[in-house]
């Protein structure tokens, strides 16, 4: 079953076009990576799918239903949950409050059970449940941001550069966690600059260059793609 289908999507800011003719699809259960360097339009894509930016043209179907022009709130209600770049926590609220805010619009009746699940997934957060979020380490803050997304019973979880700013060891742990969450059945759109580690956990990937999809395919095949190796891995 198709979770999301994007057809010929173009989007940007004012007269500036950032995304050109993007087509991609994600099937339920997959991890799909969208890869690209700084400024190619990854966050613009996430914000367009989430309804924060209106596309200039193209179609977005979520579980077969068009969501172009729908509000961000409606899109959240449908189950597309976006964990934004840079975490965007409420720094003066506790870990518990930040997590519980994740179920403000969706998942409210499952709040207690989902909180237990999130604390099982991220045991570190259980010890820090009453700590003020702004005083957590970067890795812990990323766990809260993902946990907040999980609190809303997502059907599709969009992660915008979850490895940004983490130490190499934490990056590895973060990718392992993302894979584990996917193995429990959650469909994930993973937007990343970290090509090697993303391809290691993804089923399929799309590479964006200058706002358009330049390369796409099975993650396993892309790991051996010479063009990709040359451009992104310096090999
Ligand atoms: N609100 C905005 N108004 C005008 N231009 C913007 C706005 N947000 C982003 N842009 C521009 O759109 C282009 C794509 O930005 P975007 O944030 O989508 O890139 P990205 O791939 O997420 O980059 P990074 O990896 O650094 O997060 C950039 O040239 C950026 O300057
Ligand atoms: Mg970005």
Architecture of domain 1-79+156-235: 3-Layer(aba) Sandwich (3.40)
The answer, yes or no, to whether residue 46 has pLDDT greater than 70, is: yes
Which DSSP state fits 132?
A: B
Structure-model confidence comparison of residues 225 and 151, the more confident one: 151
To test the ligand 1 pocket, which listed residue (38, 42, 189) has its Cβ within 8 A of the most ligand atoms? 42
- CB-ligand 1 contact for 142 (6 Å cutoff): no
In percent, how much of the chain has pLDDT > 90?
85
Ligand nearest to the CA of 35: 1
Q: Tell how far the Cα of 127 is from the centroid of ligand 2, in angstroms.
A: 31
- Please tell me the distance between residue 194's alpha carbon and the centre of ligand 2 in angstroms: 12
Ligand 1, residues 10, 38, 43, 195: which to mutate, most atoms within 8 A of Cβ?
A: 43
* 78-126 pLDDT, tens digit each: 999 999 998 899 999 999 999 999 999 998 899 999 999 999 999 999 9
Query: Of all helices (H) and strands (E), which one includes residue 73?
Result: helix 72-78
Q: Is the pLDDT of residue 24 over 90?
A: yes
Tell whether ligand 1 has an atom less than 6 A from the beta carbon of residue 194. no
Percent of the chain past pLDDT 70, that is, above it, reads 99
pLDDT class for 190, splitting at 50, 70, 90? very high
Cite the residue boundaries of each domain of the chain with CATH code 3.40.50.300: 1-79+156-235
At 231, give phi and psi (nearest 5°): -80, -35
Confidence of residue 235 (pLDDT cuts 50, 70, 90): low
Pocket test for ligand 1, best of 44, 45, 88, 198 (most atoms within 8 A of CB): 44
Express each pLDDT in 47-75 by its tens digit: 999 999 999 999 999 999 999 999 999 99
Q: Does ligand 1 have an atom closer than 6 angstroms to the CB of 40?
A: yes
- Residue 99: closest CA among 45, 32, 147, 51: 147
What rounded mean pLDDT belongs to the chain? 94
Residue 234: pLDDT band (50, 70, 90) is low
Residue 221 predicted with pLDDT over 80 = yes
Supply the pLDDT for residue 78: 96
Centroid of ligand 2 to alpha carbon of 47 (angstroms):
10
Q: In what order do the strands lie in the sheet with 16-27?
A: 16-27, 2-13, 57-62, 65-66
pLDDT (mean) for 21-26: 97
Contact 50, 44 (CB under 8 A): no
């Amino acid at each position: 079953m198709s979770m999301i289908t994007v057809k010929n999507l173009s989007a940007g800011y004012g007269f500036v076009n950032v995304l050109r003719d993007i087509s991609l699809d994600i099937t339920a259960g997959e991890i799909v990576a969208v890869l690209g360097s700084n400024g190619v339009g990854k966050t613009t894509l996430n914000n367009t799918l989430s309804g924060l930016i209106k596309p200039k043209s193209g179609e977005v179907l979520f579980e077969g239903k068009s969501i172009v022009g729908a509000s961000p709130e409606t899109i959240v209600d449908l189950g597309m949950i976006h964990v934004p770049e840079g975490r965007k926590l409420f720094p003066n609220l506790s870990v518990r409050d930040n997590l519980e805010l994740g179920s403000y619009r969706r998942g409210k009746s499952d709040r207690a059970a989902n909180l237990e699940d999130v604390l099982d997934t991220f045991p570190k957060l259980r010890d820090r449940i009453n700590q003020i979020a702004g005083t957590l380490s970067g890795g812990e803050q990323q766990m809260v941001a993902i946990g907040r997304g999980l609190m809303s019973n997502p059907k599709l979880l969009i992660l915008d550069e979850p490895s940004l700013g983490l130490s190499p060891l934490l990056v590895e742990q973060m990718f392992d966690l993302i894979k584990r969450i996917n193995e429990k059945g959650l469909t994930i759109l993973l937007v990343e600059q970290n090509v090697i580690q993303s391809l290691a956990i993804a089923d399929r990937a799309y590479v964006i260059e200058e706002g358009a999809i330049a390369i796409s395919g099975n993650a396993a095949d892309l790991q051996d793609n010479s063009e990709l190796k040359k451009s992104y891995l310096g090999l």
